[in-house]
Structure 1
Amino acid sequence: MICAVYKSGRRADTYLFVKKRDVFDDVPEPLMEMFGSKTLVMIVPLSKRDHLGIADIDKVKVALVEQGYYLQIPPPQINLLEQHKQELAFKK
C-alpha cells in the first residue's frame, strides 16, 4: 500500500494521508477547507514501513481503506506554566 502525505498550509504540524497523489475525492469538503493549501511532503510505501513519526501506522492503513484518507493532527500542547502552578499548589 502506497499513500501520499500532504502538509497543511493553514495548520501547523497537520498532515493528510491519501491513497493516491493529488486525489482528494474521499476527503470531506469541510476538511479540505480547514486544511487550506496542500504541499506534497512525500509518497510513502506503507507496506515497507513498520512505523510513521507520531502516527500509528495501523490506524493510517485502516483509515485509508475504510474512509480513503487519514488526518494527522499534532498532540495537544502542554501548558508548562499551568502544570508548574498546579504542582506548586500541591506542595503547599
Structure 2
Amino acid sequence: MHCDIYKSGKKDEMYLYVARADNAENEHADPLSVLSDPLRVAFGRATFVMHLELSESRPLARVNVLHVIDSLQTKGFFIQMPPDGLINPNAVEPEGLRGA
C-alpha cells in the first residue's frame, strides 16, 4: 500500500498518512480533504515529507504498520500523534510567548 506523509504545521512530531491514489491526477489534491473540519484545524498546515510504500514486513519506527494500513483502508488516513513525554505540560513558557 502506498501513502504520502505530511507533517503538521501546528504540532511537532504529528504526522498525517494519506492513502495514495493509483492515478496521477490526484497528485495536487489537498491532503487535508480526507479530514473532518475539527481535525483539519487541529492539524494545521500540511507539509509534504515523503512517499512511502507500507508493508507488513517493514515496521515503522513509532507506530504499528498494521494499524496504519488498516486505518488507510477504512478511513483513507492515519494521524500519528507526538510520542508521550515529548510535550511537558508543566514547562515554563518562554518569556516572549506569555499572553500570546
In the superposition, the TM-score normalised over structure 2's length comes to: 0.69
Between 40-49 and 56-65, the greater mean CA deviation after superposition: 40-49
Give per-residue Cα distances to partners, 1:10-55, cap 9 Å, x unaligned. 1010000001254433211211111111111100011385111201
Aligned length: 79
The correspondence for 1:52, drawn from 60, 84, 88, is 60
Residue in structure 2 matched with residue 63 of structure 1 by the alignment = 71
Give unpaired runs (5+ residues) of structure 2. Answer: 21-26, 88-100
**Superposition map of 1:1-92 within 5 A:** 1-20=1-20, 22-47=30-55, 50-77=58-85
- Kindly, what percent of the aligned residue pairs are identical? 33
C-alpha RMSD of the superposition: 2.1
Q: TM-score, normalised by structure 1?
A: 0.75
